[in-house]
Structure 1
Amino acid sequence: MTVMPPPRDLSAAYPAADMRPHAVVIGSGFGGLAAAVRLGARGYRVTVLERLDQPGGRANVFHQDGHVFDAGPTIVTAPFLLEELWSLCGRRLTDDVTLVPMHPFYRIRFDDGATFAASADADAMRVEVERLAPADVAGYERFFREAADIYRVGFEKLGAVPFGSAADMLRCLPDLIRMGAHRSVWRHVASCVKDERLRTALSFHPLFIGGDPFSVTCVYSLIAYLERRDGVHFAMGGTHSIVRGLVGLIEGQGNAVRLKADVAEIITRDGRAAGVVLADGEAIAADVVVSNADTAWTYSRLLKPEARRRWTDAKVRRARQSMGVFLWYFGTDRQWPEVDHHTIVLGPRYKGLLTDIFGRKALAGDMSLYLHRPTATDPGLAPPGRDTFYALSPVPNLSGGETWSAERVEAYRRAVEKRLEETVLPGLPAHVSASRVATPVHFRDRYKAWHGAAFGMEPVLTQSAWFRPHNASEDVAGLFIVGAGTHPGAGLPGVLSSAKILDEVVPHASTVR
């Protein structure tokens, strides 16, 4: 454990008149902020502790050379989950955030130059499928019928339900068996359509939450239906505008978000969470502790070994972590108006590349990229006449031994730049005016992500639902987990749903003390 100075109990600094039970939330990612809003609505005095200098966790923002860059999530789905949070505070999401629906959601560029534009328009999608793979129209429609059924069970029925016991898992087994949950997303898609490009277009969605389409359960086919049902949106001003809105809700409840507050230990007393100690020695007492930190970090670094029974160091080491990402943020001194807001640039290999990333954990010579051009929707995120971009390349996490030396980072950045120049951004190198990169090392050091994994534990079936770290800690009473590392998993809908589960497992403040 970290060597710390003697604790200083500063709980008296809070207003003496505020007698609400105290909840401490570790981390201000979307899961932590949503948890704080929900706990505040249920009568708790809430303190969110964020080790960085701004709220949002991985959803932070930075400015460079006049460009505004969202560092993390850029795709907003299931906006009703955000609406719920504003409603709990007697407000509307539109009071603070402007969401713009994307059309198309994204454009996929295959390695042969063919494209596929995904949208919520069923007729337009049918035309896209007919153009790409006319023999697969009926199979495509069958896939979406099945994905809709999976959504109704996997998201609406189980997505915000805690899996606190094996009995909870057994109760959902009939539904899982009926859905064929033992199949991978790829196998589900391949049973419906034959064209390899269409199979790729319908199966890549688990990568949004750090999963390999060839190994994660087909329950994640629901993501494709979720997009169609509720759309894909962008928050004007960038995703961080949602973070600012959530912080405003928390402060409006009379609660606080503290920055540069690095939690070093969760205090336990008689098997129960009793507060936290910061790296500077400050002790903060709490009736409830919620961790939005990386789950592996929470159990292996914030809790003493004697406080853990299930999530021992050995079990944490054995858990499979999701992939890493290489992010290149760049601004340009010209615009590419023909490039959509979201573009997926696929490489020459699909399964082989994913095997390198998830199986061999080796950095491949080829790549597939997600290109984000927010200035297609919000020109104010760049100086006039310029564009703001980020390119994301899935890469192995650090468990494969990659160290990302400075030379390796620049070589890979140049490879990303070359791939973009060859495909969708001709002439790019001559027009880059701002540049920054992030690698799995950045995720490990800045966000305390285990092995630098971008999405927590890999969402394979044996690490899902009851098999995932529970929302109510199995090891410590009064400790609760939100975020990508618990049920239901990563992605904005997943982490917001993990906070919603707190309504089921955290007692109402009126019953505490």
Structure 2
Amino acid sequence: MSASSNAIIIGSGFGGLALAIRLQSAGIATTVIEARDRPGGRAYVWKRDGYTFDAGPTVITDPACLEDLWSLSGHSMAEDVTLIPVQPFYRLLWNDGTRFNYSNDEASLNAEIAQLDPADVMGYARFLEHSRGVYQEGYVKLGAVPFLNFSSMIRAAPALMKYQAWRSVYDLVSSFVRNEKLRQALSFHTLLVGGNPMQTSSIYTLIHHLEKSGGVWFAKGGTNALVAGMVALFERLGGTLLLGDAVNRITYSGRRVTGIVTASGRTLAAGMIASNGDLVHSYGLLSGSAYAARRVRSLQKRRFSPSLFVVHFGLKGRFPDIPHHSILFSDRYGPLLEDIYRHGRLPNDPSLYLHHPSATDPAMAPAGHATFYALAPVPHQGKAPVDWGVEGPRYRKIVLDRVRDMLIPDLYARLDTCFHYTPQDFTDDLGAHLGNAFSLEPILTQSAWFRAHNRDDHFANLYFVGAGTHPGAGIPGVVGSAKATAGLML
């Protein structure tokens, strides 16, 4: 087969694998090359002491976008992956003892809202109707559309303006409900895709309809079981996955890329190349190109999402009272976000996302034990150049103390295994610029046409997929970006 009819994808995250499946299903001989020893990118996995620790992402929404990948070749996702519904979607907890179970069961959700403020039940119903409209315009119609020129943005503008895209998620939510805790409950979702609820475009309120209509799910065996299922499908279709070999250089001639050179010295020719890697890192692979050097400088001036500090831990005992997903709110919502996004301060009172997968799948931990991770948004290294070798152990204790104080009083007595993952690890393992966790920050001036284009503007056969492209981070986002990019490559 000639190089002109084959494709190379750099990186095996969800976006890269979804793109690979689409290309291979269409008969394009596709090779995915991954620097790490396992596929998955940010959805990495560690197996330690009998526990399975997913690196993330761990909230699966819109399973239909995943099922679509199997149906391309007449198969069913159930052949490779078992998805389990998660209820409640999240339990939200505040320091004053308030608990709020967020689900798509209308009666129980309305009861939860009424406990916070009965007047907000009607306001929430109006908010949900707004979210449904944004979902139709922003996700169904535009979620897999490549914005290659500004005119495509202009065509989309009336719909985005109708739904007040210039307002922030928090601002829009606040126009529907008045209880401060409910405002936090309805706006925190943007943090799961790297966005500050106080600044991220209200278009992201579509997440609520996405969850309400499609549910929240967990892959049996962990998020990496979903990665393994995608790899199995890709390889069955005839695709090639190469692991443990970083791409050192993308070769080019004129305005076309021609192949890659890897750390091991391997050279591969390609008719098309797509990168699922970090944007700054990817353009850096085009060594010697003045255009690529300009792109790197331009990207470095953009606003990147914060990073994450994640503590993975296994505990002796089971915790039936702690659901799969919990959010532990700090008493400082807006000011905490300012510290992370603007001031570059490492908060001593972090809000946490607590993941407890053995609540849904006991096999994620040894018998009679439980698997957890606690995730704290923290500034990226451009905002806070922290020495994580020194700071990591101290911050780990701050995070674990929060979980102890709010949920598990004897946490340290039960602690069986523990390790942490820092912004420096995001840089070292993933080539993430400044250790960012979600690529470009999802603000309005970095959305759609303003994000990285799915096809490069200079190199005609160089493409991008993943969180840095339209529509953005999160599993539905990067799988949508793969659909947009595949449409261009095919």
**Short-chain TM bin:** over 0.9
Runs of 4+ more than 4 Å apart: 17-20
Select the residue among 90, 94, 119 that pairs with 1:106.
90
Offset at residue 250 of structure 1 (A) = 1.1
Of residues 227, 230, 233, the one that matches 2:211 is 227
Cα 1:373/1:379, change in 2 over 3 Å = same
Partner of 1:163: 147
The AA in structure 2 aligned to 1:302 is: L
* 2:273–2:462 Cα contact (<8 Å) kept: yes
Q: Secondary structure at the match of 1:161?
A: coil
Alignment of 1:275 with 2:259, yes or no, is: yes
What is the 5 A alignment of 1:492-511? 492-507=475-490
Is the contact between residue 194 and residue 305 of structure 2 (CA under 8 Å) also seen in structure 1? yes
Distance 2:374 2:348 in 1: 17
- Aligned partner of 2:330 in structure 1 is 347
Q: Which consecutive residues of structure 2, in runs of 5 or more, have no partner in the other structure?
A: none
How far apart in 1 are the matches of 2:271 and 2:451?
A: 24
Mapped to 2, the partners of 1:61 and 1:114 lie a distance apart of 33
CA distance in 1, matches of 2:210, 2:405: 32
* Contact 2:4-2:272 within 8 A present in 1 as well: no
Say which is worse superposed, 228-237 or 64-73, in terms of deviation.
64-73
The alignment of Structure 1 onto Structure 2 pairs a total of residues equal to 490
Give me the identity figure in percent.
Answer: 44
Between the aligned partners of 2:155 and 2:364, the Cα distance in structure 1 is: 48
Measured after TM superposition, the shift of residue 269 of structure 1 is 1.2
1:346 Cα deviation after fit: 0.6
Please say if 1:394 is aligned against 2:388: no
Question: Aligned partner of 2:40: which letter?
Answer: G
3-state SS of paired residue (2:229)? helix
Instruction: Name the amino acid aligned to 2:367.
Output: P
Aligned partner of 2:358 among 355, 371, 375 = 375
Report the aligned-residue RMSD: 1.4
Give the equivalent residue in structure 1 for 2:342.
359
Distance 1:397 1:435 in 2: 23
Instruction: Write out per-residue CA displacement over residues 136-183 of structure 1, whole angstroms, 9 at most, x where no aligned residue.
Output: 111111111001100000000111001000110010111111111100
Secondary structure in structure 2 of the residue aligned to 1:474: coil
- Give SS of 2:60's match: coil
Task: Measure the CA separation in 2 of the matches of 1:464 and 1:506.
Answer: 22
**Counterpart AA for 1:479:** L
1:254 paired residue number: 238
**Partner of residue 38, structure 2:** 54
The Cα shift of 1:310 comes to 9.2
2:424 and 2:129 map into 1 onto residues whose CA distance is 41
Matched with 1:202 is 186
CA distance in 2, matches of 1:424, 1:73: 23
In the alignment, the residues of structure 1 paired with residue 370 and residue 156 of structure 2 have an alpha-carbon distance, to the nearest angstrom, of 48
Q: 1:337-363: CA deviations, max 9, x gaps?
A: 210111111111100000000011111
1:144 aligns with 2:107: no
Q: In the TM superposition, what is the alpha-carbon distance from 1:311 to its structure 2 partner?
A: 5.3
Alignment match of 2:115 (pick from 131, 152, 157): 131
Structure 2: how far apart are the matches of 1:246 and 1:151?
26
TM-score under structure 1 length normalisation: 0.93
Q: Is structure 2 residue 318 aligned with structure 1 residue 320?
A: no
Structure 1 residues 311 and 151: CA distance shift in structure 2, 3 A? farther
Alpha-carbon distance between aligned partners in 2 of 1:341 and 1:439, rounded to the nearest angstrom: 23
SS at 1:68's partner residue? strand
List alignment gaps of at least 5 residues for structure 1.
Answer: 1-16, 508-513
- Offset of 1:504 from its aligned partner? 2.3
1:214 aligns to what?
A: 198
Distance 1:327 1:315 in 2: 30
Residue 20 of structure 1: how far off its partner (Å): 8.1
Are the aligned partners of 2:315 and 2:416 in contact in 1 as well (CA < 8 Å)? yes
Q: 1:78 aligns with which of 62, 67, 74?
A: 62
SS in 2 for 1:205: helix
Aligned twin of 2:394: 411
Tell me the CA shift for residue 303 of structure 1. 1.6
**3-state SS of 1:143 partner:** helix
What residue is the counterpart of 1:265 in the other structure?
Answer: 249
